[in-house]
Amino acid sequence: MEAALASIFRQIWTSLHHGVKQGASPYRLMQLATVARDGAPKSRTIVLRAADEVKNTVSFHTDRRSAKIAEMLQQPRIALTAVDLPLRQQVRVEGVAQINAEADERLAVWDSSPPHTRQLYQSPRAPGSVIDTPEQAYPSPEEDGLAHFAWVSVVVSRIEWLDLRPDGHRRVVFQRVANKWEARRIAP
């Protein structure tokens, strides 16, 4: 891979790592795109929890009762998007979602999560359930939060970078081919 494109690739992974560690990073909250059971596109925000360039994965957790889990089980190919407005850059990550692929990793993430995060999974109601009052979805100590906790790792196969600088837009696609990354400039 030529040096300029390799530098962009490194910048992307560095930004993903910052998204995991820095709450104010534009890569912390990403948009997840899935395909619903009826074929309709669905998009929602997830919190990036891990980025591992060696394993070639990005990861997040969610409630296993949520619609996105059912959608990823039906169609595991997904996309994530982050936008860095000050830099005028967009990064799209595509790959295959693996839900609770590594049980030990799932348990380690659960154990290292702060109490307020674990409490989110103690709601007696599944996300998207119709409720009469907000209190019906409040956490309950009787609920086994770990039972509702899903760890999703996305094996990355494609990364697209778009730079919208006023002096000229640039776009690059990085594609995983035969266990190595290939890069191509493409028209913005």
pLDDT digits (tens, 9 = 90+) for 22-69: 888 999 999 999 999 899 999 999 999 999 999 999 999 999 999 999
pLDDT of residue 114: 93
Count each helix (H run) and each strand (E run) in the chain, helices first: 5, 9
- Note every long-range contact of 138-145, with CB atoms under 8 Å and residues 24 or more positions apart, other chains counting: 145/118, 145/119, 145/120, 145/121
Question: What SS3 class is residue 64?
Answer: coil
List, in sequence order, every residue forming a beta bridge with 90; answer none if it has no partner.
83, 162
**What is the Cα Rg of the chain in Å?**
18
Query: Which domains occur in the chain, in start order?
Result: 3-124+144-185 (2.30.110.10)
Q: Rounded distance, CA 34 to CA 16, Å?
A: 20
Question: What SS3 class is residue 130?
Answer: coil
Average pLDDT, rounded, for the chain = 95
87, 12 Cβ separation under 8 angstroms: no
pLDDT digits (tens, 9 = 90+) for 162-185: 999 999 999 999 999 999 999 999
pLDDT digits (tens, 9 = 90+) for 92-111: 999 999 998 778 999 999 99
pLDDT of 154 > 90? The answer is yes
pLDDT of residue 102: 79
pLDDT of 73 > 90? The answer is yes
To which residue do tokens 């007696």 refer?
Answer: 124
| Side chain identity, residue 37 | R
Q: Rounded distance, CA 35 to CA 37, Å?
A: 7
To which residue do tokens 């409630």 refer?
Answer: 63
The 8-class DSSP code of residue 75 comes to -
Tokens of 168: 């000229």
pLDDT of residue 132: 95
Q: Rounded distance, CA 159 to CA 4, Å?
A: 16
